[in-house]
């Protein structure tokens, strides 16, 4: 099973700011969310993480690290799972863009925020990473701790749909998504699962 986990909350997330390559840590709520994830998910066979601190901290908790311990051997870092580069928009509120700019961003997957990265570029690197993990995830649980845009990109990969479908998804903090890669095509089993203890285990990871 390919299990995609969004990192826990940061202060910037709580304030509704665009958070790309800026690198704040989890806040207290985010740490508690990571602990709830660790309690609700089976101990993963393999953990892959974005290199950003908020993802690494979440992954470390899932790997069973002691409080205050971040870098553990069980966590693999993969740059392809890093958040979209928002360029000059990083750390700013969504209102920094006017309606026309938002429309352009939504309709043109090649649109690049000033100094940033396009949705096409995000999807290319994430889809490549998904293809590489698919065979392993067909045999055992592979957890990827990442961010909103890469996880949405992974879901579009699983569904075989165009990039712009990602704009119709909303991903909560510490959300869990599950993709079964054991069949002829990937199968999305769960999207936006909450991190409360026990809830994730109610999801059945098998094809009908």
Please, are residues 75 and 63 in contact by the beta-carbon 8 Å criterion?
A: yes
Is 7 in the active site? yes
pLDDT tens sequence for the chain (208 residues): 999 999 999 999 999 999 999 999 999 999 999 999 999 998 889 999 999 999 999 999 999 865 555 555 689 999 999 999 999 999 999 888 889 999 999 999 999 988 899 999 999 999 999 999 999 999 999 999 999 999 999 999 999 999 889 999 999 999 999 999 999 999 999 999 865 433 433 333 333 2
Q: How many domains does the chain have?
A: 1
**CATH code of the domain covering residue 58:** 3.40.50.1240
The range of the structural domain enclosing residue 73 comes to 2-196
**Looking at residue 38, what is its pLDDT?**
92
**Nearest to 10, CA basis, from 43, 45, 53:** 53
Please, are residues 129 and 80 in contact by the beta-carbon 8 Å criterion?
A: yes
Q: Is there a domain that residue 203 lies in?
A: no
List Cα–Cα distances, 137 to 47, 141, 192, 203, in angstroms.
Answer: 11, 6, 19, 16
**pTM (two decimals):** 0.90
Is 121 in the active site? no
**Looking at residue 24, what is its pLDDT?**
96
Please, are residues 179 and 4 in contact by the beta-carbon 8 Å criterion?
A: yes
User: Three-state SS for 197?
Assistant: coil
User: Three-state SS for 8?
Assistant: coil
Annotated catalytic residue: which of 57, 83, 117, 163? 83
Please, are residues 145 and 58 in contact by the beta-carbon 8 Å criterion?
A: yes
Q: Is there a domain that residue 208 lies in?
A: no
Q: Is there a domain that residue 180 lies in?
A: yes
**Looking at residue 208, what is its pLDDT?**
28
């Amino acid at each position: 099973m390919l299990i995609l986990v969004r990192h826990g909350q940061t202060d910037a997330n709580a304030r509704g700011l665009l958070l790309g390559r800026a690198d704040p840590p989890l806040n207290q709520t985010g740490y508690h969310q990571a602990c709830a994830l660790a309690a609700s998910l089976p101990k993963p066979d393999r953990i892959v993480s974005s290199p950003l601190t908020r993802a690494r901290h979440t992954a470390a908790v899932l790997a069973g690290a002691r409080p205050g311990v971040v870098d553990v051997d069980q966590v693999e870092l993969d740059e392809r799972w890093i958040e979209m580069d928002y360029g000059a928009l990083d750390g700013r509120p969504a209102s920094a863009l006017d309606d026309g700019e938002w429309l352009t961003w939504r309709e043109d997957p090649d649109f690049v925020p000033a100094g940033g990265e396009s949705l096409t570029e995000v999807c290319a690197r994430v889809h490549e990473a998904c293809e590489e993990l698919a065979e392993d995830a067909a045999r055992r649980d592979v957890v990827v701790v990442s961010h909103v845009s890469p996880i949405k990109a992974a879901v579009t990969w699983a569904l075989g749909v165009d990039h712009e479908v990602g704009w119709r998804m909303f991903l909560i903090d510490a959300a869990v998504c599950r993709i079964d890669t054991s069949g002829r095509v990937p199968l999305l089993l769960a999207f936006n699962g909450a991190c409360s203890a026990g809830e994730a285990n109610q999801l059945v990871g098998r094809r009908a």
